Chain A
Amino acid sequence: MAAVEIQNVSKAFGKTEIIRQVSVDVPDGAFVVLVGPSGCGKSTLLRMIAGLEDIDSGVIRIGGRAINDVEPKNRDIAMVFQNYALYPHLSIAENMGFSLRLAGRSKAEIMERVAETARILGLSQYLARYPRQLSGGQRQRVAMGRAIVRNPQVFLFDEPLSNLDAKLRVQMRAELKELHARLKTTTVYVTHDQIEAMTLADRIVVMRDGVVEQVGAPLELYDRPANTFVASFIGSPAMNFLEGSLSRENGAAVFVSAGGTRFPVTAGDAAKAGDVAVTYGIRPEHLVLAPDGEGTEAEIAALEPTGSETHVVARTGGDRLMAVLRERITARAGDTLSLSPSPGAGHLFETASGRRIGA
């Protein structure tokens, strides 16, 4: 196992800058997820760690050793590809033992290590088969087995679950987490799926347009997003944003949106904001039903019951709000209900820069 340090790394394809001065620390044994919309540079960064892309500037270190000019095979990493990249003409055992065979290990050792890895992954009965004879989930496991069998210092995963159906994805996610708990190998994992990032990661790195927007523990990102991009990217359904300004009413700080919606704001946040234009963010799950006359009156535009909760799309003044309510709602579209934010759940951002204001 080893730590991975990425320092001021940049990469351009022609004139297009894909990665701009990115620095990320992956502590020894950590599970770090790079997440962001497609085209944000997360896969390129992973491929740079793997050695499949050159590093234009900056340094990447694995276990303290700069690996910019080290051949991929000598970096002591293993990678799982999105499409698994299994060798179709080799059996599962041959696929898993390929790297050991190239390293010149004895047949007995290869067989032993492949068998042991297959046992961990529940693949023992498939060793003689070929990739095309396995299901998506099994192929995924073989791809992981091929990585594990080498006992590398770092695992790299490039969107490994995106080719699986929803149910299998949840199952494989749990297996991955279990595997990491058992092997404790440093892992860098790329995904565009924020749920995957939240559930798997010790630390999440949110990227956009080749820049790191925020690094932190999953709940830290959820509770204290550094800017509107991270706030909208983490959490599902996405956070509501209302643009407006702060004012004082009856001695208390209040946010007033352009559409006329009013939400209370803490005195500390209001003091930090000064009198700039602000964006108020509130997560759908932090809007709750309020007794009539106390919250904000909103007209229901649509109701989406999921069984465990109800998603409500509501209009208030010129604003549109999404709320996730635990209660079962008897009201229908067109009716009004009263919503208010849970105390202290609102986030304030500078409208111009999108940066977070206050704690």
Chain B
Amino acid sequence: MLRRKRWRFAMLAILPTLAIFAWVRIYPIAETLRLSVHKWDILSKNKPFIGLANFRELFSDRLFIEALTNTAIIAFGVLLITIPLSLVLAALIHHRARSRLAGFYETAIFIPHVVSLVPAAMAWKWIFDAKLGPLNNLLGWFGVAPKAWLFDPVLAVVCVIVLCSWQALGYAVLIYLVGFKSLPVSLYEAAKLDGATGPQSFRLISVPMLKPITLYVSVVTLVSGFNVYAQAFVLASDAQGAPGRQVRVLVLDMLENSFRNYRVGYAASEAVVLLLIVLLLTLMQFSFLREKGGRT
């Protein structure tokens, strides 16, 4: 009797939170799934069920394929830059933890993660600018010919990757730093006595011991990489009135289909594909890193 009463109280206590969660999280996902098999133009009342027609159309849609390819390149590019770089940076900062500048190092790397995206992206747009940008200026000193960073279809993608990595790095380094601080000092001392150099300790002790952290950081980085939008929008989209060619990414494509082409059902099917890809990649990362990391 008592147990049932307590259970009822507990349910009532978490109900408001659950209700909000269902409303802002579960309902939109369910609604997206529902819309993806319907045809809807935002305005009309009837939304005819069309089965998997949206999905069939997706895979012959040149723009969608382009967006998917760009997004995947950006997401994996960011992952490949962020993970090793943040691991090394965190190791260096951790190594200098007693330095008077330790706080400065941490803050300097974390700031990009907290600054407002659009102004930061505007600054990068200036850096990448073909005529006025300091990047071409800098490269000029080494005899490299100026490049049209944001106009070249390949370089524009690279620019988006650089911007996204610059942002993702701060968070990844912060999480790795926490990981480094949790590793017992005696392991490094034992390794030192066993004859390990600093880089060997990093490779043979830190990297394998931090696998659970790497798993978490890589999942978060990859998921946010697949959701790239604002960075591409500011740096390389015609909406900003600049570069001749835009870097089309999935979220941008969805927005266009929803609110410019009024094909909400079609955009929803894109969202479902994105969701499936992210889920699949997360599962793969878990099984890949858990297999070895699970021993620790």
Bitwise interface map of A from 63 to 106 toward B, beta carbon under 8 Å scored 1, else 0: 00000000011000111011101111100000000110011000
Range, interface on chain B: 10 to 19
User: Once the chains are docked, how many angstroms separate the CA of A50 from the CA of B190?
Assistant: 10
Judged by a CB distance under 8 angstroms, whether A263 is at the interface is no
Of B187, B195, B205, B211, the residue contacting A99 (CB under 8 A) is: B195
Judged by a CB distance under 8 angstroms, whether A52 is at the interface is yes
Of B187, B193, B200, the residue contacting A72 (CB under 8 A) is: B193
Residues of A within 8 A of B204 (CB): 98
* Residues B193 and A50 in contact, CB atoms below 8 Å apart: yes
Residues of A within 8 A of B186 (CB): 81-83, 85
Judged by a CB distance under 8 angstroms, whether B208 is at the interface is yes
**A85-B184, A88-B296, A89-B209 known; A73 vs B190 contact (CB < 8 Å):** no
**A83-B184, A85-B187, A85-B189 known; A73 vs B195 contact (CB < 8 Å):** yes
User: Once the chains are docked, how many angstroms separate the CA of A73 from the CA of B200?
Assistant: 13
Q: How far is the CB of B26 from chain A (nearest CB, A)?
A: 38
Of B189, B195, B209, B295, the residue contacting A103 (CB under 8 A) is: B195
* Residues A89 and B208 in contact, CB atoms below 8 Å apart: yes
* Residues A89 and B190 in contact, CB atoms below 8 Å apart: no
Judged by a CB distance under 8 angstroms, whether A229 is at the interface is no
* Residues B193 and A78 in contact, CB atoms below 8 Å apart: yes
Residues of A within 8 A of B184 (CB): 83, 85
Of A79, A82, A87, A103, the residue contacting B193 (CB under 8 A) is: A79
Q: How far is the CB of B193 from chain A (nearest CB, A)?
A: 5
* Residues A73 and B194 in contact, CB atoms below 8 Å apart: yes
Bitwise interface map of B from 196 to 209 toward A, beta carbon under 8 Å scored 1, else 0: 10001000110011
Complex: chain B residue closest to A89, CB-CB: B208
Judged by a CB distance under 8 angstroms, whether A126 is at the interface is no
Contacting residues of chain B (162-213) with chain A, CB-CB under 8 angstroms: 184, 186-187, 189-196, 200, 204-205, 208-209, 211
Q: How far is the CB of A67 from chain B (nearest CB, A)?
A: 13
Judged by a CB distance under 8 angstroms, whether A130 is at the interface is yes
Q: How far is the CB of B30 from chain A (nearest CB, A)?
A: 42
Contacting residues of chain B (86-134) with chain A, CB-CB under 8 angstroms: none
User: Once the chains are docked, how many angstroms separate the CA of A103 from the CA of B195?
Assistant: 7
Q: How far is the CB of A87 from chain B (nearest CB, A)?
A: 6
Residues of B within 8 A of A150 (CB): 194
User: Once the chains are docked, how many angstroms separate the CA of A349 from the CA of B244?
Assistant: 96
* Residues B205 and A87 in contact, CB atoms below 8 Å apart: yes
User: Once the chains are docked, how many angstroms separate the CA of A329 from the CA of B296?
Assistant: 55
Of B189, B205, B209, the residue contacting A81 (CB under 8 A) is: B189
Residues of A within 8 A of B296 (CB): 88-89
Q: How far is the CB of B205 from chain A (nearest CB, A)?
A: 7
Of B184, B195, B200, B209, chain A has the most CB atoms within 10 Å of the CB of: B195
* Residues A102 and B209 in contact, CB atoms below 8 Å apart: no
Complex: chain B residue closest to A79, CB-CB: B193
Q: How far is the CB of A106 from chain B (nearest CB, A)?
A: 16
User: Once the chains are docked, how many angstroms separate the CA of A130 from the CA of B296?
Assistant: 9
Contacting residues of chain A (105-126) with chain B, CB-CB under 8 angstroms: none
Q: How far is the CB of B39 from chain A (nearest CB, A)?
A: 53
User: Once the chains are docked, how many angstroms separate the CA of A72 from the CA of B189?
Assistant: 9
**A102-B200, A130-B295 known; A85 vs B195 contact (CB < 8 Å):** no
Complex: chain A residue closest to B292, CB-CB: A89
Of A88, A89, A99, the residue contacting B194 (CB under 8 A) is: A99
User: Once the chains are docked, how many angstroms separate the CA of A50 from the CA of B195?
Assistant: 12
Of B189, B193, B200, chain A has the most CB atoms within 10 Å of the CB of: B193
User: Once the chains are docked, how many angstroms separate the CA of A77 from the CA of B192?
Assistant: 11
Residues of B within 8 A of A98 (CB): 191, 194, 204
Residues of A within 8 A of B295 (CB): 88-89, 130
Q: How far is the CB of B62 from chain A (nearest CB, A)?
A: 47
User: Once the chains are docked, how many angstroms separate the CA of A277 from the CA of B295?
Assistant: 65
User: Once the chains are docked, how many angstroms separate the CA of A82 from the CA of B205?
Assistant: 19
Residues of B within 8 A of A82 (CB): 186
Complex: chain A residue closest to B194, CB-CB: A99
User: Once the chains are docked, how many angstroms separate the CA of A45 from the CA of B116?
Assistant: 52
* Residues B196 and A102 in contact, CB atoms below 8 Å apart: yes
Residues of A within 8 A of B209 (CB): 88-89
User: Once the chains are docked, how many angstroms separate the CA of A87 from the CA of B209?
Assistant: 9
User: Once the chains are docked, how many angstroms separate the CA of A130 from the CA of B294?
Assistant: 11
Q: How far is the CB of B87 from chain A (nearest CB, A)?
A: 16
Bitwise interface map of A from 128 to 154 toward B, beta carbon under 8 Å scored 1, else 0: 001000000000000000100010000
The 3 residue pairs across chains A and B that have the minimum distance between CB atoms: A73-B195, A99-B194, A85-B186
Q: What is the interface of chain A, defined by CB distance below 8 A to chain B?
A: 50-52, 72-73, 77-79, 81-83, 85-89, 98-99, 102-103, 130, 146, 150
Q: What is the interface of chain B, defined by CB distance below 8 A to chain A?
A: 184, 186-187, 189-196, 200, 204-205, 208-209, 211, 295-296
Enumerate 17 A-B pairs (CB-CB under 8 Å) in ascending A order: A72-B192, A72-B193, A73-B196, A78-B193, A81-B189, A81-B190, A85-B186, A85-B189, A85-B190, A87-B187, A88-B209, A88-B296, A89-B296, A98-B204, A99-B195, A102-B195, A130-B295
